Amino acid sequence: MRLATVLLLALAASAETPVFRIAGVVVDSVSGKPAPRVRVVVRTSGQGASEISSWMTGDDGRFYFDVLKGKYSLVAERSGQAPQPYGAVGVVGSAVAIVTGPDQQTSNVRFELFPPSAIGGKVVDDAGDPVENALVQLMRGDVIAGRRRIGNAGYAYTNDVGEYRFGNLQPGSYYLGVTGKPWYASGPFAAGRPVAFTPVYYPNTADSRAAAALVLKAGQETRADFALVAKPGVDISVLLDGKSVKDFSRMVVDLIGDNIGISNVFQSVSSTVGSSFRIPAVPPGSYKIRVRPDGDSQFAWTQEIIAGAENVAVRMELAPPPAVSGVLELPAGASDSAGGFYVLLSDVVDRVAYTAAVSDKGSFKYPRINPGKYHVLIGGSRSAYVKSVVEGETTLEGSQIEIKSGDARTLRIVAASDGGRVDGFVRRAGQPVPGVLVALIPADSSDEPSRYRGYWTDSDGSYEFLGVQPGDYRLIVSSDRDLEWANPAVIRPRLADGKPIHVEPNGKQEVDAEAR
């Protein structure tokens, strides 16, 4: 028996505390057969989760853990695959916590493990010949924190026969973009104007707006082939100017074509030590040049260009990066320590959040951040939320700020801890329904992201929202894992079907719901 479980049982026995069993079987989600040699890990649930014990399944796929009353999460690990939480669809998604106690049925858990999937194919040119060293970029679409995002999932270069492959993929929606250079575009074989391949996207279209998702099922091996067309290209030369050039020894230079969602499709990636560089053989089209300090993933200078029939010369002024600093002000008598908080600046357009830790004295700092519009949020506490954002003597309207190039902004973020609590159970015909979405949506379709809350019900059908800002809401229950519950435009038509809830400061209410 595992040491952690032995110690747990010994402590429980000494305190005469009841022990409860989580037991079940790991099965292949496609074949339904037991999955051997899978490491199942049990962890405490919620913030600060830690591993309690683990179990390696045998030929029967079974596992068990003896734990105290509480809430736990299970994770399955298998060689060569990403860890998969219990109840999640693939790696990405919301897991289902297991609640133990005297009235809970937790001894017959069926843990479906998704077998790995793969995408492979071949890239050829307009003569049908294989293209070696073509860059194939893989992106995945998921609903994260209630909003759909298409994020980078990997990349691969084609081999000498033009083939590529992405393995160990989880089921989901994927997008692919392919760029490359003809073998005869440079060196002694080049003659006259440089030649370049036009980027293509699945399903083999040169128009990024026509890019489609490749929906991959568990255990599926699918094929996506591409044909690149060569066109006359141009050279792009860039001169970096401005005081900031001297502040960094090396720059990373990206030439980015059309985006898929918020994922960049790179045409070229290089680095430079000096202030000038050249990108040869670029096909006609619209691009964005992005220059970022080596080792810094949160800030970059950008400039949009158009490549046409002539070579392009670009001069980029590297202005001082915007900086944001300030203090987080907690309410009087707050039990939380400021040092446990962090500030999030969430981009209004793509919802990417940049974080900065808050010191014990409440200060925070972003030494560099991209220009743009951001929502100001705080994390690190389940009960606190942003009440107001103050700059100088001015209280900003809402939580949104606009940061411009060269800005040095100082903010005072005033937090409140009078949020209410809303919890309850979701049932169907009197039985608990685990793994369904419960969304709390502001009745006024506010654009404030902190007012949208989502929870995937636990094994007993329960859900809970803590620190809910006072106001009027609608409670919505859905089994649609692709529902953008934090997108006002998407969720607005469903508000009429939601259950109305009014949250009072420091209020508590239990709201049960029936799953359809």
Question: What percentage of the chain reaches a pLDDT higher than 70?
Answer: 93
Cα 404 off chain centre by: 25
Backbone angles phi, psi at 339, to 5 degrees: -65, -15
Q: Number of helices and strands (H, E) in the chain? A: 2, 44
More reliable by pLDDT, 89 or 266: 266
Tell me the mean pLDDT in the region 162-169: 96
Distance CA 235, CA 310 (A): 8
Q: Which CATH number fits domain 116-318: 2.160.10.10, 2.60.40.10, 3.30.70.141, 3.40.50.720?
A: 2.60.40.10
Q: List the strands of the sheet with 363-366, edge to edge.
A: 363-366, 323-329, 408-416, 385-391, 394-395
Q: Which residues contact 259 (CB under 8 A, 6 or more apart)?
A: 208, 265
Residue 196 has pLDDT above 50, yes or no: yes
Give per-residue pLDDT as tens, 265-286: 888 787 777 788 888 888 888 8
**Residue positions counted in the chain:** 516
Task: Tell me the DSSP string of 142-165.
Answer: EEETTEEEEEEEEEEE--TTSEEE
Distance CA 65, CA 432 (A): 22
Tokens of 141: 């679409």
Q: Hey, which residues does 313 pair with through a beta bridge?
A: 237
Q: Hey, which residues does 42 pair with through a beta bridge?
A: 53, 74
Distance CA 68, CA 55 (A): 17
Distance CA 238, CA 244 (A): 16
| Helix or strand (DSSP H, E) at 492 | none
Give per-residue pLDDT as tens, 104-118: 999 999 999 999 999
CB atoms closer than 10 angstroms to residue 18: 10
Tokens of 353: 């959040």
Tokens of 10: 């010994």
Tell me the mean pLDDT in the region 218-223: 95
Question: What percentage of the chain reaches a pLDDT higher than 90?
Answer: 64
Torsion, Cα of 446, 447, 450, 453 (10° steps): 60
The DSSP letter of residue 461 is S
Q: What is the pLDDT of residue 3?
A: 46
Q: What is the pLDDT of residue 157?
A: 97
**Alpha helices of 95-151 — where are they, by DSSP H?**
none
**Cα 341-344-347 angle, rounded to 5 deg:** 175
Among 206, 119, 239, CA closest to 169 = 119
Rounded to whole angstroms, what are the CA distances from 513 to 145, 194, 481? 22, 64, 18
Write the CATH number of the domain with boundaries 420-514.
Answer: 2.60.40.10
For domain 323-416, is the CATH number 2.60.40.1120? yes
The residue type of 407 is D
Pairing mode of beta strands 251-256, 285-293: antiparallel
Q: What is the pLDDT of residue 510?
A: 96
The DSSP letter of residue 86 is T
Q: Hey, which residues does 471 pair with through a beta bridge?
A: 503
Q: What is the pLDDT of residue 458?
A: 96
Torsion, Cα of 453, 456, 462, 464 (10° steps): -20
Q: What is the pLDDT of residue 248?
A: 78
Distance CA 271, CA 35 (A): 46
Residue 73 has pLDDT above 50, yes or no: yes
Task: Tell me the DSSP string of 49-63.
Answer: --EEEEEE--TT-EE
Rounded to whole angstroms, what are the CA distances from 90 to 17, 81, 142, 173, 470? 36, 11, 11, 11, 35
Match 């060269």 to its residue by tokens.
406
The residue type of 182 is P
Q: What is the pLDDT of residue 72?
A: 96
Tokens of 98: 């297991």
> Contact, 147 vs 351, CB < 8 A?
yes
Distance CA 430, CA 425 (A): 10
* Annotation: CATH topology of 3-113: Immunoglobulin-like (2.60.40)
Q: What is the pLDDT of residue 1?
A: 40
Locate the domains of the chain by residue range.
3-113, 116-318, 323-416, 420-514
Distance CA 119, CA 131 (A): 18
Distance CA 35, CA 28 (A): 6
Structure pTM?
A: 0.88
Distance CA 476, CA 441 (A): 8
Give per-residue pLDDT as tens, 115-159: 999 999 999 999 999 999 999 999 999 898 899 888 889 999 999
Tokens of 46: 């919620």
